[in-house]
């Protein structure tokens, strides 16, 4: 079993030195789901705070750009692209994010941060209507680039 890279040989936490790694194109996509009641979905267009889904999309983009400020050992990345798509369905809001960068380390945390903050923003924008809103299914869909190569999540049955 390989050692976790955020710990040194003595077990102390450290930021990984990526200075010797080549800059390569790296991508990541993540997912989250916000379960909303039919009543909340019905009231979304009239939300006095504005369009919750559009505000959540912008929040997700902003969050991806600030991931290293939120997750202590993440490296700051120069992001080439951040996309947040939110699709409203009968049961709630499906969030999918994608991040692209060229650098020495991956963008998985940025994609996951974008998805989670977008989900939290939907909650914040609709909590006055329903406190029982659930956020679930936060996961990495896929990533490309880097030493470990490509990863694609297997679909659950």
Catalytic annotation, residues: 124
Comparing CA positions, the residue from 14, 30, 54, 21 lying closest to residue 110 is 30
H/E stretch holding 83 reads strand 79-88
Question: Which of helix, strand or coil describes residue 58?
Answer: helix
Cα 95-31-62 angle, rounded to 5 deg: 65
For residues 112 and 140, the answer to whether their CB atoms sit within 8 Å is yes
């Amino acid at each position: 079993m390989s050692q976790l890279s955020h710990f040194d040989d003595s077990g102390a936490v450290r930021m990984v030195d990526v200075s010797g790694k080549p800059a390569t194109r790296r991508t990541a996509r993540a997912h989250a789901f916000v379960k909303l009641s039919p009543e909340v979905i019905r009231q979304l267009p009239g939300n006095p705070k504005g369009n919750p889904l559009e505000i959540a999309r912008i929040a997700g983009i902003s969050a991806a750009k600030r991931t290293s400020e939120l997750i202590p050992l993440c490296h700051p990345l120069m992001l080439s692209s951040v996309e947040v798509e939110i699709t409203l369905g009968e049961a709630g809001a499906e969030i999918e994010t994608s991040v692209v960068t060229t650098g020495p380390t991956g963008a998985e945390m940025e994609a996951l941060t974008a998805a989670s903050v977008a989900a939290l923003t939907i909650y914040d924008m609709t909590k006055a209507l329903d406190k029982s809103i659930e956020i679930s299914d936060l996961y990495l869909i896929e990533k490309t680039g880097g030493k470990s190569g490509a990863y694609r999540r297997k679909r659950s049955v």
